[in-house]
Amino acid sequence: MITNPETQPTRGTQLSEQVARQLTHAIHTGDMRPGERLPTEAALGERYGISRSVVREAISMLRNAGLVTSRRGSGSFVAEVPTVALRLAIPDPSLQSVIRLLELRRALEVEAARLAAQRRTPSQLRRIRNAMADIDEAVEIGADGVDQDMAFHRAIAEASNNTHFTAIIDFYNRFLHHAITVTRTNESLRETFMAQVIEEHQAIVDAIDQGDEDAAAQAAARHLEHAEWRLRQAPTDLLERLEDTATDTPV
């Protein structure tokens, strides 16, 4: 029932999608500021010449994308920290997929280590050191130390002082947890592996400590190259078990 050609949404297949795009654009460009209230559903319907159903569907998309929040009786508001949803395929747990994730991890963590060497604050450096000590502690009492390992790498990402790195690394860590566990629970190779890992970690931390960005990046790159090698060394039966425990990861 498009009655207002002036503000008619741009062509597209789905009406609600067109409206959602327009509103999204208004938020992205700062035309509507965080915390600000959106026009009422009725008003938006009037403006675009569409029914309230379509407006609701459009707002539902924005809500789902984390751009707005709605409060019954009050209205819909631009989120205080607007987010966009980056839709990514769920990695299947095959060895191939895990290696693709390691490639991404290498890209991010090498650069994160470089930035950390440049910018880490004293307290961030302290936290990195503590995380490294936690790994040793966990290994000594017989645990696999995977959680501590991930916390260590996260501490480095935090020291990069660039939230993009931490956000993406957090996201992918969920899918890597199991893979790392596999390489650690390999009894025969465990001791030599752990010794390698600890030494590689130490090299990264030293470089960050000294503010040597190239050395930090190089140490991180070496660590992740070796991580891939260690994963490939894991016996085939363990890798198959990797396939069995498919993602029970929630959205």
Task: Work out whether 95 is an interface residue with its own copies (CB under 8 A).
Answer: no
From residue 136, alpha-carbon distances to 23, 79, 186, 201, 216 in Å are 51, 42, 18, 11, 21
Burial class (CB in 10 A: 0-12, 13-18, 19+), 223: buried
**Would you say 157 or 234 has its CB closer to its own copies?**
157
In the list its own copies, DNA, none, the entry touching 54 (Cβ below 5 to 8 angstroms by class) is DNA
60-99 positions binding DNA, by CB under 7 A: 70-76
CA dihedral sign, ordered 147, 242, 233, 223 = negative
Give the interface segment with its own copies, choosing from 128-136, 143-151, 158-166, 230-238 (CB under 8 A).
158-166
Nearest to 222, CA basis, from 232, 230, 233: 230
In the list DNA, its own copies, none, the entry touching 101 (Cβ below 5 to 8 angstroms by class) is its own copies
Task: Work out whether 233 is an interface residue with its own copies (CB under 8 A).
Answer: no
CA pair distance 136, 239, nearest whole angstrom: 26
Task: Work out whether 124 is an interface residue with DNA (CB under 7 A).
Answer: no
**Would you say 65 or 238 has its CB closer to DNA?**
65
Task: Work out whether 143 is an interface residue with its own copies (CB under 8 A).
Answer: no
Q: What's the token pair of residue 242?
A: 């990797």
x-or-dash pattern for DNA, window 8-27, by CB under 7 A?
------xxx-----------
38 Cβ contact partners less than 8 Å away, ≥ 6 residues apart: 23, 32, 44, 59, 68, 75, 76, 77, 78
Residue from 6, 80, 140, 237 in contact with its own copies (CB under 8 A): 80
**Would you say 135 or 217 has its CB closer to its own copies?**
217
CA pair distance 194, 156, nearest whole angstrom: 19
Task: Work out whether 232 is an interface residue with its own copies (CB under 8 A).
Answer: no
43-72 positions binding its own copies, by CB under 8 A: 53, 56-57, 60-61, 64-67
Residue from 21, 22, 46, 56 in contact with DNA (CB under 7 A): 56
The full 3-state SS of 133-192, as one line of letters, equals HHHHHHHHCCCCCHHHHHHHHHHHHHHCCCHHHHHHHHHHHHHHHHHHHHHHCCHHHHHH
Query: Which positions lie near its own copies, rule CB under 8 A?
Result: 24, 28-30, 33-35, 53, 56-57, 60-61, 64-67, 80-90, 92-93, 100-101, 103-104, 106-108, 110-112, 115, 160, 162-165, 167-168, 171-172, 174, 245-251
